[in-house]
Amino acid sequence: MILVTVGFHFQGFNRLVEAMDKVAAEIDERVIIQRGSSSYVPHHAEHFQWTSSHQMEQLTEEARIVVGHAGSGTIILTLLKGKPLIVVPRLKQYREHIDDHQLQLAKAMGSQGKAAVVYDSNPIVLRAAIETISEQKMILYRSTSLVQALRRQLDSWV
């Protein structure tokens, strides 16, 4: 199962939700999308708007791959669960967030080899990232030191 999450931010992330819905139409794997404030309603993937943190933990545990916005909560949970992660940062230019801090997080995760980063959220690019992670059998390990470093960086920005 592929879990897609956009977090709990008040601005929608239609770019990711719609692109992953198109991917879901093309692959033979269950795709579940947490769409949050996004206005796009998926036609091919299972979806829900909001859920509890406990349910997100459970879905993350069950997922083969997590595709998500570059939010700190999503990154930390996915790392702690040891799941391969594809991050698609929300961008200010598309009014998906108030600034581009997710771009900074995504670049840091990509440069450390902890996540595949997709900047162009079209279905072809996302599907290629999913196939690449699957072929490489990339497994992100539970990294306490990385999570602590990420939390320190987030604290420094506050």
The model's pLDDT over 61-92, given as tens digits with 9 standing for 90+, comes to 999 999 999 888 999 999 999 999 999 998 87
As a dihedral over the C-alpha atoms of residue 23, residue 114, residue 5, residue 60, rounded to 10 degrees, the angle is: 100
Instruction: Quote the CA–CA distance of 93 and 91 in Å, as a whole number.
Output: 5
The model's pLDDT over 18-60, given as tens digits with 9 standing for 90+, comes to 999 999 999 999 999 999 999 999 999 999 999 999 999 999 9
Instruction: Quote the CA–CA distance of 133 and 3 in Å, as a whole number.
Output: 14
Question: Both tokens of residue 116?
Answer: 């595949």
Of 73, 42, 41, which Cα lies nearest the Cα of 60?
Answer: 73
Cβ pair 62, 83 in contact under 8 A = no
Describe the crossing of helices 72-81 and 53-62 by its angle, rounded to 10 degrees: 50
pLDDT of the residue at 139? 42
Average pLDDT over residues 125-134: 92
- pLDDT class for 100, splitting at 50, 70, 90? confident
Answer with the residue of higher pLDDT: 99 or 83. Answer: 83
Question: Both tokens of residue 75?
Answer: 């990154």
Q: Which long-range contacts (CB under 8 A, 24 or more apart) does 97-100 make?
A: 97/9, 97/11, 98/11
Cβ pair 80, 115 in contact under 8 A = no
Has residue 143 got a pLDDT over 60? no
